[in-house]
């Protein structure tokens, strides 16, 4: 029997392609993860495992309330012991060179074993969801309530930066960039985004003046002018000069951080320890610095 081929309007055959979504919708919150090239899937698996563990630790009360509101226990948190064994093995065994076949098998095993899911019972959707950006060295993990991305990432980085924590649980994850909220790339939508994110940090009652800076990272993004965006955000922070907040690019108290990707603008506000103590949330740099400090410590003579 001959294979049927679908014809187009002109009588020619055509193939059906799967449409892959490779950008973010407006009003999306979460975290961008930069990673080693061609390790996007492995990096996503690594960070999802850590984030789910930390969500249980940081948001235990909220999750308990979600369960009390009627969410089935089996859907709220499904523990996968096989995945835990893979993680423990990766922590204890030294890194070694793998063949291409072995690396592919490892990635497939990580994806297959990663089944831990925390679910929002009201929407019946996972609180953490990987968005495939179809971009080298970049991963996005979408987050839903009760998770606050900048708080979760800050707490996670603070734990990882602890000088007593010397075991690095990731091989391919490099830098984390939280996104509190996001919008479509236009000045009108950027203004609305500022109204949703900035007031809670800069427009409080009886607030002391703050030093601040604006940092914009662009990737596959040429829709809007960078300086025009910075001037607009700076004016919004200071309410067009009616507040005493001042721009200080080096010694800021707060940093308004924008991640622009394709037609999406993500925004969050971080504290000064983002640059000083926590190396712009670069896990790789944090652990390299800790190991250097440990190696330089004087050894006790017997």
pLDDT at 293: 86
d(CA 144, CA 30): 8
pLDDT at 66: 72
pTM of the model: 0.77
Closest CA to 268 of 134, 117, 147, 127: 147
Supply angle C-alpha 91, 139, 283, rounded to 5: 45
Buried b (16+ CB within 10 A) or exposed e, 11-38: eeeeeeeeeeeeebeeebbbbbbbbeee
- Strand residues in the chain grouped as ranges (E): 30-35, 119-120, 125-126, 128-131, 138-143, 173-179, 181-184, 211-219, 246-247, 254-261, 264-271
pLDDT at 115: 46
User: Over the chain (302 residues), what is each successive 10-residue block's mean pLDDT?
Assistant: 53 51 88 96 94 90 72 42 46 55 59 53 77 94 94 96 92 97 98 98 96 97 96 97 96 98 97 96 95 79 48
Domains and CATH numbers, the chain: 30-59+105-292 (3.30.2130.30)
pLDDT at 109: 56
The runs of H, that is alpha helices, within 93-186 are: 100-113, 149-160
pLDDT at 100: 63
pLDDT at 83: 46
d(CA 198, CA 256): 8
| CB 47, CB 143: distance < 8 Å | no
């Amino acid at each position: 029997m001959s294979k049927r081929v679908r014809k187009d309007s002109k009588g020619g055959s055509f193939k059906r392609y799967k449409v892959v979504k490779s950008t973010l919708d407006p009003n999306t919150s979460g975290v961008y993860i930069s990673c080693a090239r061609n390790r996007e899937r492995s990096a996503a698996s690594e960070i999802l495992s850590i984030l789910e563990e930390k969500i249980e630790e940081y948001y235990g009360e909220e999750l308990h309330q979600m369960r009390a509101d009627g969410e089935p226990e089996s859907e709220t948190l499904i523990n996968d012991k096989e995945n835990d064994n893979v993680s423990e093995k990766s922590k204890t065994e030294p890194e070694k060179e793998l063949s291409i076949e072995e690396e592919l098998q490892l990635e497939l095993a990580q994806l297959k074993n990663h089944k831990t899911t925390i679910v929002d019972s009201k929407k019946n959707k996972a609180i953490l969801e990987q968005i495939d950006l179809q971009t080298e060295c970049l991963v996005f993990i979408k987050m839903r309530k009760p998770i606050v991305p900048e708080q979760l990432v800050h707490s996670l980085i603070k734990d990882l930066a602890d000088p007593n924590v010397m075991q690095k649980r990731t091989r391919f994850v490099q830098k984390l960039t939280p996104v509190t909220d996001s919008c479509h790339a236009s000045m009108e939508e950027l203004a609305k985004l500022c109204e949703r994110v900035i007031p809670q940090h800069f427009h409080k009652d009886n607030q002391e003046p703050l030093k601040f800076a604006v940092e914009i990272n662009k990737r596959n993004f040429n829709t809007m002018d960078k300086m025009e965006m910075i001037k607009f955000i700076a004016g919004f922070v200071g309410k067009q000069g009616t507040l005493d907040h001042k721009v200080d690019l080096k010694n800021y108290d707060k940093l308004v951080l924008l991640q622009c990707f394709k037609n999406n603008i993500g925004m969050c506000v971080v504290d000064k320890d983002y640059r000083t103590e926590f190396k712009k949330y670069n896990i790789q740099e944090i652990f390299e610095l800790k190991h250097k400090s440990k190696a330089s410590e004087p050894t006790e003579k017997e």
